[in-house]
Amino acid sequence: MLDELNGDIHKRLEKAVLEVFSNSDFHRASIRDIANKAGVSFTTIYKHYGSKERLVFAFVDIWMGKLTDRIVDHLQGIENLKEKLRKVFWLQLDYYERHEGLGRIVFMTLPMKTWMADETFNQPRMMHLMIDVLRQGQEEGIL
């Protein structure tokens, strides 16, 4: 989907998706709103995504992937489980504080039931990371 779009269109869409979905109710947001803000045709968006759900989920997946990358980078070299847990939670809170729009989208705008049915909800890299940290805690008898 996103790989097929040129970089400029991708950036404009990303900005528009963030603005529209973080500042309005999900059901009031439309692909037309996003197309107008991004200066991209409605047809182009529909061709690549098919629905506003797939559109916003695709970008949320990218943004959550960036959070996961950040956590992975910051956990390098940390052996102490308590420090790992502290770092993971701090990084998540910091990320949402720095990216308020994403926080609004994830926690207030997205229809959770619909997102949970989509593959992007699973966030396998993040889940494996969290499970590994928790498993370490179990093995060390801390959890």
**Quick one: pLDDT at residue 3?**
53
Just give the CATH number of 2-139. Answer: 1.10.357.10
The 10s digit of each residue's pLDDT in 117-140 is: 999 999 999 999 999 988 988 898
d(CA 135, CA 138): 5
Instruction: Reply yes or no on whether the pLDDT at 45 is more than 90.
Output: yes
Q: What is the pTM of this model?
A: 0.88
Mean predicted lDDT score pLDDT of the chain: 92
The 10s digit of each residue's pLDDT in 69-117 is: 999 999 999 988 889 999 999 999 999 999 999 999 999 999 999 999 9
Token pair belonging to 71: 């956590």
DSSP 106: I
SS (H, E, C) 22-80: HHCCCCCCCHHHHHHHHCCCHHHHHHHHCCHHHHHHHHHHHHHHHHHHHHHHHHCCCCC
Domain ranges of the chain: 2-139
Token pair belonging to 7: 């970089």
Token pair belonging to 100: 């308020």
d(CA 129, CA 20): 31
| Residue 39 phi, psi (nearest 5) | 65, 35
Report residue 7's pLDDT band, with 50, 70 and 90 as the boundaries.
confident
**Quick one: pLDDT at residue 4?**
65
> Judging by beta carbons within 10 Å of its beta carbon (0-12, 13-18, 19+), is residue 116 exposed, middle or buried?
exposed
